[in-house]
């Protein structure tokens, strides 16, 4: 989801309060999440990742009905204007009727720096800012255009759990003052699980410890494109010299490093050169090095020689923690615990969708004045929820509960009323109501033809026991993790 930076554009001239500004930003972010998702489906992952994903939503001028969309370089802005302006304009007009025009521009802060060349020997010392972080800006432009690192993607903002603790700790080691024990660091994670967040966090922490360090962040696809442009423009010596002058190299979406063997060879030589000088390299991809397509064996060997750190899909506890951390931004807005639990249990595909769903729900509640509730979440997040729901059956629940409590499957339908059998049966009824769309009578029929009132009693009892009995709550949480994995 595109982030809206606090300094994304010129100051507003409207007389809104800070709270209303925040509400508008949240609403625009939620709308952009929907629009971007739709474009990804239409354009495919490669085009979307290259041209749509870098877009930042700027300010909306209510007087003219103009919404600003920012890109990191003039080249990117011109390309998006030429190929996607009509599509973006139509999508925003459908999303918000008050938007009449979409202005696709280079980010104001980037525009001021675009003509400043890194490492230009003709530039006097201490003349202007020292540009240390570059990203996706263009090797083909005069100098590198600087766009910096996303200020919100820091280690402090990264929520850690069992699923990502290895990658987070490895990333912190890479950014520390001491020489890293392993280099390169290779972070493997599915889409939306936090690998890009860690790349930016490494950059921030390394820069804090080494204020004059030179950092380069780009996608592998951008590396390939810029390599080809430098080749065509006969600027390969400049390309190589600048690329090998960085102290920290951060390359994202490495799964797209396909195509020209010469570009892969240049990356290979760059890795060897930086490692020989003790520089730091971090790569991120959605698959292991050995699973990358059309990559030369020598390059695969270099990518695997350091540490490959996985980020596993966020489990229920981590998803809940992430939501709770995000809620601090919306205080004093109240979001009930059952809504947080519902989102954490239901939106399981990736963290980006989880946070996007929360933003959309809160934006709707703020803009309509409705309280955040479970019913509102189910009504407004239909598309996200339906895409994430894995169909869990009552048979699957009964089988899992019986294995957990070590009882025979037939006890789910039996008439026995000993505690060792009744409690697991009640837990299975509770989970059937929580995890499936089945009604009380339908659930009762799957448990030996029991009356719906028996199911209602079981559900209420287990809900109550979870609040009073830590062991019961632990059992239910463990079963939820098994069934949702």
pLDDT in tens, 362-402: 888 888 888 898 888 888 888 787 666 667 889 999 999 99
Model pLDDT, residue 69 = 92
Range with lowest mean pLDDT among 203-217, 222-236, 300-314, 377-391: 377-391
Q: Tell me, yes or no, whether 228 lies in a domain.
A: yes
Kindly tell me if the per-residue pLDDT of 149 is higher than 80: no
Gap between the Cα atoms of 291 and 269, Å rounded: 21
Residues 268 and 340 in one domain: no
Over the stretch 310-361, which tens digit does the pLDDT of each residue have?
999 898 899 999 999 988 877 677 888 889 988 998 888 889 889 988 988 9
5 assigned to some structural domain? no
Q: Is residue 95 part of a domain?
A: yes
For the chain, first and last CA: distance in Å?
Answer: 24
Helix (H) / strand (E) element for 380: namely: helix 374-380
Give the domain CATH number at 260: 3.40.50.300
Known binder of ligand: residue 270? Answer: no
pLDDT at 110: 57
Q: For the segment 58-89, what is each residue's pLDDT rounded down to a tens digit?
A: 888 888 889 999 988 777 788 888 888 888 88
Query: Which residues does residue 217 pair with via DSSP β-bridges, in sequence order?
Result: 135, 250
Together in a domain, 354 and 417: no
Does 192 belong to an annotated binding site?
A: yes
**What pLDDT sits at residue 429?**
95
The reply to whether 51 and 165 lie within a common domain is: no
Average pLDDT of every residue of the chain = 80
Residue 128 lies in a domain: no
Q: Is residue 371 part of a domain?
A: yes
At 170 the pLDDT is 95
Q: How, if at all, do strands 248-252 and 307-311 pair?
A: unpaired
Nearest alpha-carbon partner for 364 in 95, 45, 79, 76: 95
Say if residue 17 carries a ligand binding annotation: no
Lowest mean pLDDT among 38-47, 212-221, 421-430, 447-456: 38-47
User: Does residue 271 share a domain with residue 344?
Assistant: no
Say if residue 118's pLDDT is above 50: no
Range of the structural domain that residue 180 is part of? 155-310
Structural domain count, the chain: 4
Q: Which of 334, 437, 450, 329 is nearest to 378 (CA)?
A: 437
| Higher local confidence (pLDDT), 45 or 337 | 337
> Average of pLDDT values for 408-427?
92
- H-run or E-run covering 116: none
Q: Residue 1 has what pLDDT?
A: 36
On whether both 210 and 170 belong to a single domain, the answer is yes
Under DSSP, the state recorded for 360 is H
Residue 19 located in a structural domain: no
Does the annotation place 195 within a ligand binding site? yes
Q: Examine the pLDDT at 242 and tell me if it is beyond 70.
A: yes
**pLDDT interval class at 462 (50, 70, 90):** very high
Q: How far apart are CA 276 and CA 158, in angstroms?
A: 31
Tell which of 365, 388, 411 closes a domain. Answer: 388
From 435, 457, 438, 437, select the one nearest 446 (Cα to Cα): 438
Q: With contact defined as beta carbons under 8 Å apart, do 242 and 158 qualify?
A: no
pLDDT of residue 180: 82
The pLDDT, as a whole number, for residue 41 is 72
More confident residue, 369 or 142: 369
Query: What is the signed CA dihedral for 244, 246, 248, 253, rounded to 10 degrees?
Result: -60
Q: Which residues, other chains included, contact 200 with Cβ-Cβ below 8 Å and sequence gap of 6+?
A: 149, 150, 153, 154, 217
Query: Are the C-beta atoms of 385 and 378 separated by less than 8 Å?
Result: yes
Residue 3: the pLDDT is 35
CB 226 within 8 A of CB 139: yes
- Of 286, 310, 334, the one marking the end of a domain is 310
Same domain, 231 and 188: yes
Residue 369 or 5, more confident: 369
Inform me whether the pLDDT recorded for 215 exceeds 80. Answer: yes
Overall pTM surpassing 0.75 (yes/no): no
- On the CB side of 200, CA atoms within 13 Å amount to 16
Q: Is residue 122 predicted with pLDDT exceeding 70?
A: no
**What is the reported pLDDT for 20?**
61
Q: What gap in Å lies between CA 151 and CA 264, rounded to an integer?
A: 31
pLDDT at 142 over 80: no
């Amino acid at each position: 989801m595109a982030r809206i930076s606090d300094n994304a554009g010129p100051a507003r001239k409207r007389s809104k309060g800070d709270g209303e500004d925040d509400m508008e930003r949240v609403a625009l972010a939620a709308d952009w999440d929907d629009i971007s998702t739709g474009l990804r489906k239409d354009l495919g992952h490669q085009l979307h990742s290259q041209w749509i994903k870098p877009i930042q939503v700027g300010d909306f001028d209510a007087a003219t009905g103009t919404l600003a969309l920012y890109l990191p370089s003039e080249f990117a802005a011109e390309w998006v204007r030429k190929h996607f302006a009509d599509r973006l304009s139509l999508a925003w007009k459908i999303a918000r009727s008050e938007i009449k025009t979409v202005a696709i521009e280079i980010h104001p802060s980037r525009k001021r720096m675009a003509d400043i060349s890194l490492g230009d020997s003709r530039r006097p010392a201490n003349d202007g800012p020292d540009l240390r972080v570059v990203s996706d800006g263009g090797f083909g432009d005069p100098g590198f255009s600087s766009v910096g690192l996303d200020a919100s993607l820091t280690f402090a903002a990264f929520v850690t759990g069992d699923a990502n603790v290895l990658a987070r700790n490895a990333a912190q080691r890479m950014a520390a003052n001491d020489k890293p024990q392993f280099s390169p660091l290779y972070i493997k994670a599915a889409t939306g699980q936090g690998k890009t967040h860690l790349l930016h966090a490494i950059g921030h922490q390394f820069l804090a410890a080494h204020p004059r360090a030179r950092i380069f962040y780009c996608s592998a696809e951008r590396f390939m494109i810029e390599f080809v442009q430098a080749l065509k423009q006969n600027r390969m010596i400049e390309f190589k010299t600048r690329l090998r002058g960085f102290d920290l190299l951060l390359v994202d979406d490495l799964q797209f490093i396909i195509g020209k063997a010469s570009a892969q060879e240049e990356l290979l030589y760059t890795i060897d050169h930086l490692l020989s000088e003790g520089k730091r390299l971090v790569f991120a991809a959605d698959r292991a090095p050995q699973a990358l397509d059309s990559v030369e064996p020598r390059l695969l060997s270099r990518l695997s020689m350091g540490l490959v750190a996985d980020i596993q899909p966020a489990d229920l506890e981590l998803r809940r923690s992430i939501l709770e951390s995000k809620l601090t931004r919306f205080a004093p807005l109240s979001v009930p615990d059952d809504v947080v639990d519902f989102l954490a249990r239901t939106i399981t595909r990736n963290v980006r969708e989880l946070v996007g769903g929360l933003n959309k729900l809160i934006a709707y509640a703020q803009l309509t004045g409705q309280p955040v509730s479970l019913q509102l979440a189910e009504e407004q997040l239909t598309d996200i929820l339906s895409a994430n729901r894995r169909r869990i059956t009552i048979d699957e629940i009964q089988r899992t509960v019986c294995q957990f409590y070590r009882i025979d499957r037939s006890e789910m339908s039996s008439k026995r009323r000993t505690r060792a059998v009744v409690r697991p049966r009640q837990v299975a009824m509770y989970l059937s109501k929580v995890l499936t769309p089945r009604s009380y009578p339908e659930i009762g029929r799957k448990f030996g033809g029991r009356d719906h009132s028996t199911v209602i009693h079981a559900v209420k009892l287990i809900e109550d026991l979870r609040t009073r009995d830590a062991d019961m709550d632990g059992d239910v949480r463990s079963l939820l993790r098994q069934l949702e994995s």
